[in-house]
Amino acid sequence: TLSLLLLGAADDLRLLAFKEVLAPMIFDTGRIAFINGWAEVTAAQIGTSSDVNPAIGQIAFGQGSAYVPLPVGTNRVFWQRVDGNGQGGIVQDRDPFITENGLVYLYILTSDRDPVIITDAVEVMTDVIALPTAADVFVEVTPIPRTRIRVVNALYEQLPFDFVANGEIVATNLGYGQASALVELGDFITVPVSIAQPGASVPLIQRDLRLLEVGDYSVYVYGAVGDVSMIAFSDQGLALGSAPPSARVINLAGDASITLGLADAEATDPNTPSGGTAPGIPIGTLLLLQNIGVQSVSPQIPTFGGVRDLIVVDQRTNTEAARFRSFNFVSSTHYDVVVTYLPLEGVLRAFILPY
């Protein structure tokens, strides 16, 4: 849906074409976007709690923001002026701001008086990601705990490797952006591991992999060939095969300043050139995840499904780090969005891995 908004005073009008996101909403989460229609506020930042939300960025007069999630219930929303020296004073503060299930909000700042707030009702996704419960089990059994691992190749040079754990061959000639099958290793939490390029006699890395407890893990091999790193994330809470397709972000950047977000947008032509490095996420996008720190994994979230654009956001600069155009999200499939980074090149790289 495209809305045309006339903003400003009679002698200084701006016409803004704003694309509304009326896709189904994740249960118990609101959705809001902001438009600066007050000419006296040349630029502003938005707070969605007690602090400014860096994912929204600065909004100049006559411009709008991407959509961001808000929890259903009582929130605080404020506008803070940005002047030549950085942050200025608060020009509008709505506390409380009540967010309801199934409503999308468009908050338009027009003056220091009450804002214009437009709401639209949308479908709420009632399918939730859940692991099987005891009620789903027909035969009561006592499982014997086992450690199982799958290995993911995220080497920056995109070279294949062989992976051996506890004497078991987990993967051979595993290509970049690929994952091995789950391999059972017994009831171990400390596993000796060797990683080598195919046919090489000297391993790239040889050390113990220490796990928190017996269970299922995804092991990510990343970094440069001369400085290979390895990290394991537990998959015990990962629900596979749920009806709505789901996603999570794996941040393998080695720079502690890099935090990531994940955004959804309507599908665009795969041949469209990159949007460049200008700050700001385009209007019509919806932030699904934010503040994903280095060497960490985000929560698993449902996606809208179908053919969509998926955007990895570099929250240091509020820019697109990667955009997967016209990606087809298949029902009952989970997707890992894996992001790597080499400080010497200063470039974030990402790929999507389906399960």
State the pTM of this model. 0.67
Which tokens sit at 66?
A: 């991407």
Tell whether 131 is covered by a domain. no
Domain boundary among 89, 124, 159: 124
Residues 284 and 217 in one domain: no
Question: For 188-209, how does the pLDDT look when each residue is reduced to its tens digit (9 = 90+)?
Answer: 788 899 999 998 888 999 999 8
Q: Are residues 258 and 334 in the same domain?
A: yes
What token pair was written down for 185? 């290793």
Task: Tell whether 154 and 184 lie within a shared domain.
Answer: yes
Examine the domain organization and report whether 13 and 109 are in the same domain: yes
Q: Is 42 left (phi over 0), alpha (psi -120 to 50) or beta?
A: alpha
Query: How many angstroms from the chain centroid is the CA of residue 346?
Result: 20
pLDDT at 275: 54
Judge if 120 and 59 occupy the same domain.
yes
Q: Which of 65, 75, 71 is nearest to 34 (CA)?
A: 65
For the chain, how many helices (H) and strands (E)? Answer: 0, 29
Q: Is residue 239 part of a domain?
A: no
171/151 Cα distance (integer angstroms) = 7
Closest by Cα among 255, 185, 260, 171 to 220: 171
Report the domain count for the chain.
Answer: 3
Which of 54, 58, 104, 110 lies closest to 81, judged by CA?
58
* pLDDT given at position 272: 76
Taking CA atoms, 173 is separated from 191, 198, 308, in Å, by 21, 6, 32
pLDDT given for residue 271 in this prediction = 82
Residue 139 lies in a domain: no
157 and 64, same structural domain? no
How would you classify the pairing of strands 190-196 and 205-210? antiparallel
pLDDT value of residue 312:
93
> How much is the pLDDT for 198?
92
Claim to verify: residue 172 and residue 230 sit in the same structural domain: yes
Give the pLDDT confidence score for residue 150 in this predicted structure. 94
| Sequence-distant (≥ 6) Cβ neighbours of residue 86 within 8 angstroms | none
Q: Give the pairing of strands 334-342 and 347-354.
A: antiparallel
Residue 59 domain boundaries: 2-124
Nearest to 57 by CA among 80, 88, 39, 74: 80
| Assigned domain for 251 exists | yes
Q: Label each residue of 317-342 as H, E or C.
A: CCEEEEEEEEEEECCCCEEEEEEEEE
Does residue 272 share a domain with residue 205? no
End-to-end CA distance of the chain: 33
Neighbouring CB atoms inside 10 A of 179's CB total: 20
What CATH number did the domain enclosing 151 receive? Answer: 2.60.40.4150
Q: Are residues 306 and 331 in the same domain?
A: yes
- Tell me what pLDDT residue 155 has: 94
Q: Please give the Cα distance from 86 to 258 (Å, whole number).
A: 22
* Residue 135 belongs to some domain of the structure: no
Residue with tokens 């460049």: 276
Residues 207 and 273 in one domain: no
Tokens of 302: 């449902």
Question: DSSP assignment, residue 167?
Answer: T
Query: What integer pLDDT is reported at residue 274 of this predicted model?
Result: 61
Sole residue written with tokens 């956001």: 313
Per-residue pLDDT of the chain (355 residues; tens, 9 = 90+): 667 778 877 777 777 777 777 777 777 888 899 999 998 898 899 998 888 887 787 888 888 888 888 889 999 999 999 876 666 789 999 999 999 988 999 999 998 888 899 998 887 765 544 444 444 444 444 455 688 899 999 998 899 999 999 888 999 999 999 999 999 888 878 889 999 999 888 899 999 988 888 889 999 999 988 889 999 998 887 888 766 888 999 999 878 889 998 988 888 888 876 655 555 566 667 788 888 999 999 988 888 788 999 999 998 888 889 999 999 999 889 999 999 987 777 889 999 999 8
